Amino acid sequence: MTAVILALVAGAVVGLALGALGGGGSVLAVPALIYLLGFTPTAATTASLIIVTATSLTALYAHARTGQVRWKAGAAFAAAGVLPAAAAGAAATHMPQAVLTLAFAATAVVSAVRMLRPADTARPGGGEVRPGKAAGAGAGLGALTGLLGVGGGFLVVPALVTVLAFEMEAAVGTSLLVITANSLASLATRSGAAVSLDWAVIGPFIGAAILGAWDGKRMAAKVAGPRLQRVFAVVLLAVAAFMFVYAVT
């Protein structure tokens, strides 16, 4: 199986997750780039940001067409994460590869746990919006995006539901706006870094992810969200276990 075919398959899975769940797919992008396509952790996190940005923009458009994006609140939430994302993106290029791998594996575990506990992400915050807590959550998620090259949607969605009292559908759509803004901020600081990227692989990956995002949006309308979350959670736990073993051996 060639690298291009692997990139197409991995991209389709990433797109499906982003389109259906508003997050989670980007946590699969980095390990796919490292272990299937031979990228270094630093190059993988940078490439993942490019993939996530392109895919999130496409999924954002799909959700916006159905009125599921809260632009004003989403922009404010994203604004809190822009500077942390940029700073973390610059720091990531100087971190040891093993540290990035272990940090990413830990993030995958957190993502899986979140997805296995859908009841916690579906309980609104009683209509009470807490600006200070929202700003803190936005900043933390921005730093996570910049450091590890993940969109952070698996944390953005529950944050929007519990902190800003969004309905789940609006949280998924708005999370894509936050992911896009944070990814662009991180990429801006990484653009000058000496990281070699294989565009012959990244291009097909992006194309498949964009198509997968549209399919994921349609899938979300047909399959129960909790069921989708459980499937992706099991996959993420397996990926995290593999990364931990690989990093320490």
Pull the structure tokens for residue 222: 């047909």
Determine the pLDDT at residue 248.
Answer: 75
From the centroid of its chain, how far is CA 23? 5
Please report, as a single letter, which amino acid is at residue 242. Answer: F
Determine the pLDDT at residue 236.
Answer: 74
Pull the structure tokens for residue 200: 């012959």
pLDDT of 116 higher than 80: no
Determine the pLDDT at residue 203.
Answer: 93
pLDDT of 151 higher than 80: no
CA dihedral of 229, 50, 148, 81, whole degrees rounded to 10: -90
CA 164 – CA 176 distance, rounded (Å): 15
Which range in 76-85, 88-97, 142-151 is most confidently predicted, on average pLDDT? Answer: 76-85
Please give the mean pLDDT across all residues of the chain.
78
Domain that holds residue 190: 3-248
Instruction: Say which residue, 127 or 153, is predicted with more confidence.
Output: 153
The tens digit of pLDDT for each residue in 21-76 reads 666 666 778 888 988 898 888 888 888 888 888 888 887 888 898 898 999 888 88
Contact 19, 219 (CB under 8 A): yes
CA 66 – CA 217 distance, rounded (Å): 11
pLDDT band at 161; cut points 50, 70, 90: confident
Instruction: Say which residue, 165 or 71, is predicted with more confidence.
Output: 71
**pTM, 2 dp:** 0.71
Which range in 143-152, 200-209, 224-233 is most confidently predicted, on average pLDDT? Answer: 200-209
The tens digit of pLDDT for each residue in 179-220 reads 888 888 888 877 655 567 888 999 999 999 888 877 777 776
Number of domains forming the structure of the chain = 1
Q: What percent of the chain is modeled with pLDDT above 70?
A: 81
In 117-198, where does DSSP find H-type helix?
A: 118-121, 131-148, 153-163, 168-190
